[in-house]
Amino acid sequence: MYCELSDYVREHGDAFIRTHETKQEGRWVSTQRKRYRDSELSDEQIRDLESIGFVWKLKDMPPAIRWDDMYDTLVAYKNE
């Protein structure tokens, strides 16, 4: 999954996963954040993620991306 995230960064220019674009990677990213909070990631895993611009806290994402992501999630939910 790290390789897929790296590909995402190359394509989009950032590591801000938009859940409406890629659910599998979005779940993986959420899991990495939880593992980080629970001190379950190795130093190497942390360095690797940070080297591609990974954001540990959602509140540190640019507001426009957070808003767009939540809006798109809401639209997807309504459509289901």
Q: From CA 8, how far away is CA 30, in angstroms rounded?
A: 15
Q: From CA 77, how far away is CA 35, in angstroms rounded?
A: 27
The residue-averaged pLDDT of 7-11 equals 83
**What's the pLDDT score for residue 6?**
86
**What's the pLDDT score for residue 74?**
72
Q: 């950032």: which residue's tokens?
A: 14
pLDDT band at 7 (very low <50, low <70, confident <90, very high): confident
- The answer on pLDDT for 19 being more than 60 is no
H or E stretch covering 32: helix 23-37
The dihedral region occupied by 30, where left means phi > 0, alpha psi between -120 and 50, and beta the remainder, is: alpha
Q: 């674009």: which residue's tokens?
A: 21
What digits encode the pLDDT tens for the residues 53-71? 888 887 777 676 667 766 7
The residue-averaged pLDDT of 13-17 equals 75
